[in-house]
Homo-oligomer: A and B are copies of this chain.
C-alpha cells in the first residue's frame, strides 16, 4: 500500500496573530490538496521572526512530505521568509538579476522607478525554482529537499491563487499519489441540524464521508468519495431521506434557486418587508440578471407606509397589530397589486431586542405569500436568536416558502 502524501501549511505574518485577521489562504491551498488526495496534517501561523520561522520550518520539514508556506515575501524588513528558509535549510541566498529586471519593468509600466527595497524580492535560495508572479512583484519559490518539497508563496490571495493554478496544481498532478477525492454538497434551509442528522441516519450508516456544515437556517451536507458512482448514490440517498427540503446542490444559493425557478415559470416577484427592512429584496437582487423577474419592494417599516403604500386598512392594523395574519396577508396582496407582480411575499415580525409581548414575544414573525388566483399562503414562525439572526432566518423562511411553492407548480 502506498502511503498517502502528507502536507502542512505554514502562514507567516505577525498580523495573522492579532485579533482581526485569520489565515484564509490555507482554505484555497487545502482545496487543491484535497483534490489530489494529499492529507493535510497541520496548519501553523507564526510571526515575522527569522529564528522562530526557521525552527518551525525544520520541525515541519522533518514531519511532512510537502510544506506550503505563505507570506513574508514582500519588500520590507518585516518580510523574512526567504532568510528564514535559507537558514533552516543551510542554503545560500543570492540576487537574481532577471528578477530584478522584471520588477523594474513592472514599476516602469506604472511610470515609477523601482524602490531599492524591492531588490529583496529578487533574492533566490540556492537551487530553488522560481514561480512567476504576473499579479505582483514577489515571485514564488519551490525548494526540493531530500525530506520534503517546500513551496513559498506570497500572502496576497490573488497572487497566491494564480500560483496554485499555474504551478502547485501541475506539481500535485505529477507527484501526489493519493486517490483524488470528489465532493458534492447538498443544501437544506430552515431545518434544525439535529433533525437533519436524525433524518440522515440511514445515509450515515451506508456511506463513510458525510459531513454537516450548519449555519443559522442553512445546512450543507457534504459528501466525499474517491468513487464518483458512490458519490452519486450517496446524493440520491440524501435526497430520498430529506425530500423537497433539499433546495440545491453545490454553490447555488437559495436566492439563485428561486430566481431560476421564477425565470423558468415566467413569473415576476415583489416583496413587502417590515422586520427584514429590505433584506429579502437585497438577497434576490444580489443575483445578476434578477431584473428579469424581480420588480421591486416596499419596505414598510412605519405603519403609515403599510397603510399608504401597501393599502393595509388602518382598522386592520389597529385591531390585529402589525404582526398578524391579517396585516401580513394584506401587505403581500397590496405589494402584488401595486407593483403589478405575479407573486409577492410579505413579512412582519418582532426582531427585538425590544417590542416583544407575552402574546407575541421577540422572534414572532408572520410570512405571507400572495400567488394571484392561486391564493395567499400564511405561516407564523417563532424564530430563535438575536435581532440579526431573527432577521436573517426570516429571509431564509420567506425564500424557502417561495421555492417550495414554485417547485409544486413545476410538476
Is A44 on the interface with B (CB-CB < 8 A)?
yes
Chain B residues with CB under 8 A of A271: 299
B34 and A42: CB pair below 8 A? no
* CB neighbours of A353 from chain B (8 A): 288
Known pairs A27-B22, A281-B277, A295-B302; A43 contacts B17 (CB<8 A): yes
Query: 1/0 contact trace for A285-297 toward B, CB 8 Å?
Result: 1101111001111
**CA A27 – CA B284 in complex, angstroms?**
33
Kindly state the separation between the CA atoms of A282 and B21 in the bound complex, as whole angstroms: 26
Residues B47 and A41 in contact, CB atoms below 8 Å apart: yes
Min CB–CB distance A181 → chain B (angstroms):
11
List, in ascending order, chain B residues with CB within 8 A of A220's CB.
20
User: Bound complex: CA of A195 vs CA of B360, how far in Å?
Assistant: 50
Q: Give the most central of A34, A299, A304, A353: most B CB within 10 Å.
A: A299
Query: What's the minimum C-beta distance from A253 to chain B, rounded to whole angstroms?
Result: 12
List residues of chain B with CB within 8 A of the CB of A18: 30, 34, 211
Known A282-B282, A298-B296: A52·B46 in contact at CB below 8 Å: no
Q: Is the CB of A300 within 8 A of B296?
A: yes
Q: Which of B27, B44, B280 contacts A44 (CB 8 A)?
A: B44
CA distance A279 to B43 in the complex (A): 37
Question: Is A305 among interface residues, defined by CB-CB distance under 8 A?
Answer: yes
Q: Which of B19, B284, B296 sits near A309, CB closer than 8 Å?
A: B296
Number of interface residues of A (CB under 8 A): 70
CB distance from A330 to the nearest CB of B (A): 16
B288 near A277: Cβ-Cβ < 8 Å? no
- C-alpha spacing A299/B301, complex, angstroms: 13
How far apart are the CA atoms of A31 and B21 in the complex, in Å? 12
Enumerate 9 A-B pairs (CB-CB under 8 Å) in ascending A order.
A18-B30, A22-B27, A42-B47, A277-B281, A277-B290, A278-B297, A285-B301, A286-B391, A296-B300
Which residues on B sit within 8 Å (CB–CB) of A339? Answer: 302, 305, 309
* Residues of A near any B CB (own CB < 8 A): 15-24, 26-27, 30-31, 34, 40-47, 49, 52, 56, 59, 211, 213, 220, 222, 271, 273, 275-282, 284-286, 288-291, 294-302, 304-305, 308-309, 338-340, 352-354, 387-388, 391
Cβ-defined contact, A19 with B46, below 8 A: no
Contact call B43/A45, Cβ cutoff below 8 A: yes
Which B-chain residue is minimally distant from A29 (CB atoms)?
B19
Contact B304 A295 (CB under 8 A): yes
CB pair B19–A22 under 8 Å, yes or no, is: no
The answer to whether B340 touches A304 (Cβ under 8 A) is yes
Q: In the assembled complex, how far is the CB of residue A26 from the closest CB belonging to chain B, in whole angstroms?
A: 8
Which of B34, B42, B284 is close to A19, meaning CB atoms less than 8 Å apart?
A: B34
The answer to whether A301 touches B290 (Cβ under 8 A) is yes
Interface centre among A43, A44, A296, A387 (most CB of B within 10 A): A296
Nearest CB of B to A48, in Å: 11
Nearest residue, chain B, Cβ from A47 = B41
A23 to B353, CA, bound (A): 29
Are A41's CB and B34's CB within 8 A? no
In the assembled complex, which residues on chain B have CB atoms less than 8 Å from the CB atom of A279?
A: 278, 282
Beta-carbon nearest neighbor of A35 in chain B: B19
CB distance from A128 to the nearest CB of B (A): 25
Which residues on the B side are within 8 Å of A40 (C-beta)? Answer: 17
Kindly list chain B residues whose C-beta atoms are within 8 Å of the C-beta of A304: 295, 340
